[in-house]
Amino acid sequence: MSRTIRLAAAQLGPIQRADPRRVVVARLMALLEQAAGRDCDLVVYPELALTTFFPRWYTEDEAEIDAWFESVMPGPETQPLFDLAQRRGIGFSLGYAEKTPEGRHFNTQILVDKTGRIVGRYRKIHLPGHVDFDPERAFQHLEKRYFEPGDLGFPVWRAMGGVMGMLICNDRRWPEAWRMLGLQGVELVMLGYNTPSVNSQKADEGPADRLFHHKLAMQAGAYQNSCWAVAVAKAGDEDGHPLIGGSVIVDPDGKIVAEATTEGDELLVQDIDLDATRFGKATIFDFARHRRIEHYGLITGQTGAVPPPEGDA
Amino acid sequence: MSRTIRLAAAQLGPIQRADPRRVVVARLMALLEQAAGRDCDLVVYPELALTTFFPRWYTEDEAEIDAWFESVMPGPETQPLFDLAQRRGIGFSLGYAEKTPEGRHFNTQILVDKTGRIVGRYRKIHLPGHVDFDPERAFQHLEKRYFEPGDLGFPVWRAMGGVMGMLICNDRRWPEAWRMLGLQGVELVMLGYNTPSVNSQKADEGPADRLFHHKLAMQAGAYQNSCWAVAVAKAGDEDGHPLIGGSVIVDPDGKIVAEATTEGDELLVQDIDLDATRFGKATIFDFARHRRIEHYGLITGQTGAVPPPEGDA
């Protein structure tokens, strides 16, 4: 049986603060129709694909916050996307702000199979940014305020004929996240992101640097775990705040095989052979033969860095 | 006090099997003299810098094996290098095959301070390759035969005014190794390598791919731990077996700031400001704020990959 998937990265252009869900979902559906026309199996959308990147806006108003969140998925506004995908026989992965029945808030991504069933859920673990208003920053990045860290670990799922994993945005910079998936044999990592084009704490770190770090992290993660990876941006200018594009599909050798050329709604399509992950997993990254966990203790034993005492030299 | 070090990467061209230590040490000393002429503080030499890359040769003869190893450091042939470095007031890091008084064999790198004292020792943990003769390979890679995995963990040292760490060759592909150093606040990672220009198990993976993977791993490791990194090759054609060059110095942002242009003896010199590591360590890679060790359990709990059972989807 062939294990080739026709994968689509559905990059989104900007979503303005005033854009209603209805308009956004229509854009998601238009991209899905494009993917259907090209016989795709799986469409991956960005992080927080239903709203603007709201963590840039500071508020203490609970109602204002909750308006960014979905308390049911699919809900009335997203049901048409699920219906279309099921009708077209396409799986998809979607990022959105999730409010649970218990009132907890997560930055979440789901995997929906070709029958329209939610088969996987990941909640972002590496939340960047800060909790309180920070007057030192050029703009706010309040993910630590509006979300809890994910509580589901780093699961994988057998779906679409392979072993699937999800990460979200800043997770890509953390090799621990990739390795957790790699240790479960992941074959495709799906990741959405909203990455400001300028570092809010370092004005001279602009879009070229941000794209460089984004690709470096994606390519290293894919290579070091011998898996396919797709990273999908929400890009462009949201109410005066630019986000990088640069959606990419990366092969298990760490090479970029497809890359977005715009900062708008754009579909990248790539046939990916899941069996191409096997060579690396059986040779240089055969973890069973090469990893030495007896020497990795600090990685799980200690959260922060602890340099040796001064005056030691 | 300035924490800028003038760092030299002392790439070596090939060492043939028949080359005596005396000739090799003279080359190391010539590079050290060059570095002294440019006021360098620290010279980093490659992995197994005193011999050819002997793990390509299969033998069962203990005496033949031990001829590649140093049972004392400095020994009669290496003492002149130590003497010169002390006289010139330069620290250095040197890779070599170490035989301990107990008869154990390690792939080792040492750090020698400006007074000629050995202040750090690392023994390579991620040994690539295999134990027995492998007729399927284009050439042998017998590190798992000739060396034990290192038994000293991943230490760091306060030396040269900063926090110093060492890794060797294949270690650079393993984010666990980098993170162990990062969790101890490493500011400079010194790494030597001997990397065959072709994958012995995949003929179409040639020097361009090997250089790509080498740089990808170095750049990701430096970026994700916000540290300087220097990678130093033994390069060129050793008895018909080519090794890649590509020695690099990488900044804490993951950028290559110096790169070798030859496959011969070549000195790269770069002033590195150890305080440039601070921004990353205090912001996006402030481990204490962002790491979530409660979700990293498999990394130390499980050596090999364990995919979910088939038939789960």
pLDDT tens digits, A161-189: 999 999 999 999 999 999 999 999 999 99
State pLDDT tens for residues B32-69: 999 999 999 999 999 999 999 999 999 999 999 999 99
The Cα–Cα gap between B216 and B91 comes to 28
Residue B1 reports pLDDT greater than 80: no
Q: What does the pLDDT read at residue B46?
A: 98
Q: What is the pLDDT of residue B229?
A: 99
pLDDT recorded at residue B279: 97
What is the average pLDDT score of chain A?
A: 97
Q: Where does the pLDDT of residue A138 fall: very low under 50, low under 70, confident under 90, or very high at 90 and above? A: confident
Q: Is the peptide bond before A20 cis (omega within 30 degrees of 0)?
A: no
Copy the structure tokens of residue A187: 């074959």
DSSP A199: B
Q: Which distant-in-sequence residues (6+ apart) come within 8 Å of A71 by Cβ?
A: A99, A100, A101
**φ and ψ at residue A99, rounded to 5 degrees:** -110, 125
pTM reported for the whole predicted model: 0.98
- Rounded CA-CA distance A197/A195 in Å is 6
Given an 8 Å threshold on Cβ–Cβ distance, is B279 in contact with A209?
no
Q: Is the ipTM of this complex over 0.95?
A: yes
Q: How far apart are CA A92 and CA A118, in angstroms?
A: 9
What pLDDT score was predicted for residue B235? 98
Tell me, what's the pLDDT at B138? 87
Q: Is the pLDDT of residue A277 over 60?
A: yes
Judge whether A148 counts as a catalytic residue.
Answer: no
Show which of residues 194-253 on chain B sit within 8 Å of chain A, judged by CB atoms.
Answer: 201-202, 209, 212-213, 216-217, 219-220, 223-224, 253
Q: Is A250 exposed, middle or buried (0-12, 13-18, 19+ CB in 10 A)?
A: buried
Strand partners, B43: B8, B92
Confidence of residue A2 (pLDDT cuts 50, 70, 90): confident
| pLDDT score for A173 | 98
CA A229 to chain CA centroid, nearest Å: 10
B308 and A158 within 8 Å at the Cβ level: the answer is yes
Q: Does B102 touch chain A (CB under 8 A)?
A: no
Arithmetic mean of pLDDT, B97-123? 98
Under the banding of pLDDT at 50, 70 and 90, the label for residue A258 is very high
For chain A, give every domain's residue range: 4-298
Given A47, A70, A98, A266, the catalytic residue: A47
Rounded Cα gap, residues A80 and B35, in angstroms: 68
Cα distance from B303 to chain A (closest Cα, Å)? 5
The residues pairing with B112 across neighbouring beta strands, listed in sequence order, are: B92, B118
**A44 in contact with B, Cβ within 8 Å:** no
Place of tokens 């993951």: B254
Residue B305, chain A, CB below 8 Å: the answer is yes
Mean pLDDT over the full length of chain B? 97
| Catalytic residue (choose from A98, A124, A215, A238) | A124
> Residues 145-164, chain B: which have Cβ within 8 Å of A?
149-150, 153-154, 156-161, 163
pLDDT at position A1: 63
pLDDT for A311 beyond 80? no
Judged by average pLDDT, the poorest of A181-185, B62-66, B256-260, B263-267 is B62-66
Nearest beta carbon to residue A295 from set B153, B202, B216: B153
- Residue B47 appears among annotated catalytic residues: yes
pLDDT in tens, B131-183: 999 999 989 999 999 999 999 999 999 999 999 999 999 999 999 999 999 99
Q: Does A1 touch chain B (CB under 8 A)?
A: no
Domain made up of B4-298: CATH architecture: 4-Layer Sandwich (3.60)
Residue A312 in this model has a pLDDT that exceeds 60: no
Q: Which candidate from B304, B308, B310 shows the least CB-CB separation from A288? A: B304
Nearest to A225 by CA among A295, A157, A172, A272: A172
Residue B313 has pLDDT above 60, yes or no: no
Mutate which: B174, B178, B253, B310, vs A, most A CBs within 10 A = B174
Query: Is the pLDDT score of A16 beyond 80?
Result: yes
